[in-house]
Structure 1
Amino acid sequence: MTRAGKTDVLITGLAVLSAFGRGLGALAAGLDAGRPAFAPVTRFDVSGRRVGVAATVPGSPDLDDELWWLVDEACDEAKLGTAERAGAPLFLAVHGDPRLARAKPAQRPRHGGSAFAAGLAEHTGLGPARAYTSACVAASTAIADAAGAISRGETDRVVVAGGYLVEPDQYALFDAGRALAADGFVRPFSAGRRGLLLGDGAGAVVLESAAAAGARGIEPLARLAGWGRAGDAHHPCQPHPRGRGLARAVTDALRRAEIGPADLGYVNAHGSGTAQSDAAETLALRTALGECAATVPVSSTKALHGQALEASGILELAVTLHALRGGRLPVNAGFLEPDEDCALNLVLTETKASPAYALSLNAAFGGSNTALLLGTAP
């Protein structure tokens, strides 16, 4: 196997918001406690809905303000000055400006995803902006694109941001589609799983070449060792029943990093808690990891912080980073009893570990799949 790309890609700054609060510390505390953040929705009226819970921060946060703060925080951690910011593209994963749905027709172009990304880039002093709107793989696709550009020597660094705050329109769609778990719990890979629940999530990450970070004396948080993307081309909403696209994404990420399945120490699974998706993901891991699929620790933290849609890739990258650096693996909460279709080595109790490599998986409607592989900092 040969490395695809010309240089290592490092993570030098990261900021995150979750239902557990602001910052990686708040997220880590919530993960370590293993208590789901779901509670009754008070941000908008859910009295006419089948399900009335989500994982949200208090009040009615503004997505613009949160993303501005997160991008600044990540850039500050990476010690990016004005010149470094101006030369760094912004890749933004977002459904669109939250004001879009209620804007007058003539005003809608200024509220689309591209306009929203351009405004955020201008406000935070970053370079050209690009918007990603591909639902649960939006942020992870943006991260993979950024890593590819850096590894090919096209740019020194890219700032990737993403955000989704639970709001009435998407909530209504998932509720009407009976995708939300009626019992108020997400139960990934468990018998009795009944669906997903939405959650607030937003974050920003600075990706840089090893040369650029080294020239500024920056100590990286981790290395983005590999990445992979693949499509199922199977169904608009359902994954391929054998998880073929996701398996290819995992295989590509491992090949790019020049490691084998035995080197993996943890998998942060997509694990939406739906019957078809979890079974397909299990088969994908068996295909990609072979015999190691029975031994590598796996958990889905959506059972704790909820499904953050466009922000999932960044939120769960932060989760995977904590697993890599924190000395313990996140628990697969909500588990009731084994399901023979989901025979994986699930993290069900407190597990201390310091993996050298950890994998973060995401999948989305339309059969899109991504795999991001983190390695310990060089």
Structure 2
Amino acid sequence: MGALAAGLDAGQPAFAPVTRFDVSGRRVGVAATLPGDPDLDDELWWLADEACDEAKLGTAERAATPLFLAVHGDPRLARAAPAERPAHGGAAFAARLAEHSGLGPARAYTSACVAASTAIADAAGLITRGEADRIVVAGGYLVERDQYALFDAGRALAADGQVRPFSAHRKGLLLGDGAGVVVLESAAAAAERGIEPLARLAGWGRAGDAYHPCQPHPGGRGLARAVTGALRRAGIEPGRIGYVNAHGSGTAQSDAAETLALRAALGEHAATIPVSSTKALHGQALEASGVLELAVTLHALRSGRLPVNAGFLDPDEDCALDLILDEPRPASPAYALTLNAAFGGANTALLLGVA
């Protein structure tokens, strides 16, 4: 979390030329990547151990704790021989991580940019219903040649090398490495163990609009329902939200639709609630986006600094929101929303409250 927090506080985009694989034949040649050629197994193994240690989970507690993993799949899957592919799928990846970390039964989520946020919502539902005391949720994506090629060929990547959410002249998204692990636990179980929570997951909502394989509904209907569901579950009014960590992909259709979704769900408050998309800083982390941006939102709540919406050029009348520009904004919100959307019309909203 330290490196991510430092980047958020600095407000400087992390995009740089891709050196991990050859991009000489691509339209776009930048992404937000870790140095060298990291291994996703190693990154997730280390983070899972770190999260469990910070949550003070002993061996017995780990063994009784399920793991929900959001991942596209083992990066080696595409080049594996047919007979070897089952060992490189999402379920096998999750099982390996659970075994390595001493965790209980594993479940894999592969639903693109809402994979991790869907896993978090599922975990929260199970805990709320008393079906689990705690669940570890992990998500990971490292920029690799195949997905990069797909986004580049589809002209989804920003040709000017910057993500510009909600800005006029925005050109599209850019990919970024992301990995994170969180421990969700019932308040009663945490109190019994003497653990102070970092924040409360006060509400969550999910909805689909099924409008188009790649584009959201122009009016943001699915995302609006997800936000409304999260607020209803938490039992709070829109005016109590102090920050929105937006999906904000930097694409023309998505940002305009998200603005309409916020107006529909938040009413008159949509014009005054601070909004930023930190994808302008760390890029689109695909399956890891939900857990990465939950950590971003948690940092905003606990630090009192709302991250900047970087890359902004000029206002767009279709995206009239209270955007956080130029530098992080001091604030002490009691509640903050983090939003994600994915191909196929899937939408999620997670509502964090101060502990």
State, as a whole percentage, how many aligned pairs show the same letter.
Answer: 87
In structure 2, how many angstroms separate the alpha carbons of the residues matched to 1:135 and 1:43?
Answer: 22
In structure 2, how many angstroms separate the alpha carbons of the residues matched to 1:165 and 1:349?
Answer: 28
SS of equivalent to 1:265: strand
SS of equivalent to 2:216: coil
1:262-281 equivalences under 5 Å are 262-281=239-258
- Opposite residue 341 of structure 2, the aligned amino acid is A
Q: Does 1:319 align with 2:324?
A: no
Q: C-alpha root-mean-square deviation of aligned residues, in Å?
A: 0.5
In structure 2, the residue matched to 1:168 is 145
1:109-152: per-residue Cα shift (whole Å, max 9, x none)?
11111011011101110000000000000000000000000000
1:8-46: per-residue Cα shift (whole Å, max 9, x none)?
xxxxxxxxxxxxxxxx12111111111000000000000
In structure 2, the residue matched to 1:213 is 190
In structure 2, how many angstroms separate the alpha carbons of the residues matched to 1:271 and 1:106?
Answer: 40
In structure 1, the residue matched to 2:325 is 348
Give 1:359 shift: 0.4
In structure 2, how many angstroms separate the alpha carbons of the residues matched to 1:327 and 1:211?
Answer: 27
Q: Does 1:376 align with 2:351?
A: no
Query: TM-score, structure 2 length as denominator?
Result: 0.99
SS of equivalent to 2:230: helix
In structure 2, how many angstroms separate the alpha carbons of the residues matched to 1:43 and 1:106?
Answer: 28
SS of equivalent to 1:162: strand
In structure 2, the residue matched to 1:359 is 337
1:92-115: per-residue Cα shift (whole Å, max 9, x none)?
000001110000001101111101
In structure 2, the residue matched to 1:328 is 305
Give 1:297 shift: 0.2
The counterpart of 1:134, out of the listed 101, 107, 111, is 111
In structure 1, how many angstroms separate the alpha carbons of the residues matched to 2:30 and 2:272?
Answer: 34
| Alignment gaps of 5+ in structure 2 | none
1:230-241 equivalences under 5 Å are 230-241=207-218
In structure 2, how many angstroms separate the alpha carbons of the residues matched to 1:143 and 1:94?
Answer: 13
Give 1:325 shift: 0.6
Q: Does 1:191 align with 2:163?
A: no
In structure 1, how many angstroms separate the alpha carbons of the residues matched to 2:304 and 2:205?
Answer: 26
1:10-159 equivalences under 5 Å are 24-159=1-136
In structure 2, how many angstroms separate the alpha carbons of the residues matched to 1:35 and 1:234?
Answer: 35
SS of equivalent to 2:161: coil
Check whether the contact 2:116–2:290 (CA below 8 A) recurs between aligned residues: yes
Query: TM-score, structure 1 length as denominator?
Result: 0.93
In structure 2, how many angstroms separate the alpha carbons of the residues matched to 1:305 and 1:329?
Answer: 15
Check whether the contact 2:310–2:326 (CA below 8 A) recurs between aligned residues: no
In structure 2, how many angstroms separate the alpha carbons of the residues matched to 1:328 and 1:119?
Answer: 37
1:67-95: per-residue Cα shift (whole Å, max 9, x none)?
00000011011000011100110000000
In structure 1, how many angstroms separate the alpha carbons of the residues matched to 2:5 and 2:80?
Answer: 37
In structure 2, how many angstroms separate the alpha carbons of the residues matched to 1:299 and 1:30?
Answer: 15
Check whether the contact 2:281–2:310 (CA below 8 A) recurs between aligned residues: yes
1:233-272 equivalences under 5 Å are 233-272=210-249
Runs of 4+ in 1 over 3 A off after TM superposition: none
Give 1:349 shift: 3.4
